[in-house]
Amino acid sequence: MTTRYQYKNRWEQLESEIKALQKQSDEEYKKLPNVSHESKVWQKAFDKYYAEVCRPNKEKIEKMKREAEYCHIRSLDKFYCNRHLYSDIQPYEVIEIISDDRLKLRSMDFVQTNGSVERLKESFSPGGFLGHFDNSVQEWICKPDENGIVVEVRRRKDGFFYEVGGSIPFVLSDQPRRYRDFNF
């Protein structure tokens, strides 16, 4: 199994590779003809640049960024997984690392702060079916829950973790996050 130190080295390596690819794309863009952007010469050169340099680099960079973020989080002492349920987010703590691509998680207990509840009530504005709330005023306190639900998740090709047979992603994070969309 990979160590935290190895994850940190891989993260630093990916960051430098991403910068190099972005620099290469910028240098290739500067080589485009210095004419009006509406001209056919520039359009033809840009289409070639986009097909040969930009699109492949963009796809590589996106994949590398996902892997770099994963390596960065795994290099930390303590990390969490947040379950993204459409517009809501629920916090889970990592209780066991089974392998590089499998984790055992336990749901966390969370409570909304009193100040947050008051600000949420004040943010209500009538309209629509019932009304609208300003969801940006939420503050939650997340605590470990010894009796929480334990789930095992696996990492898929897209970089996210899922329960076996599940379709709702778990995203690695350096801190637990709770979010409730009160407009649904």
Per cent of the chain over pLDDT 90 is: 14
What pTM value is reported for the model? Answer: 0.66
The helix/strand/coil state of 44 is helix
Q: What is the pLDDT of residues 105-154, one digit of tens each?
A: 999 998 888 877 777 777 777 776 777 767 667 888 899 999 999 999 99
Quote the Cα angle for 140-121-116, to 5°: 20
- Give the Cα separation of 28 and 41 in Å (integer): 16
Q: What is the pLDDT of residues 15-38, one digit of tens each?
A: 899 888 888 888 888 887 777 777
Rg (CA), the chain: 22
94: CB partners within 8 A, 6+ apart:
78, 79, 80, 81, 103, 104, 105
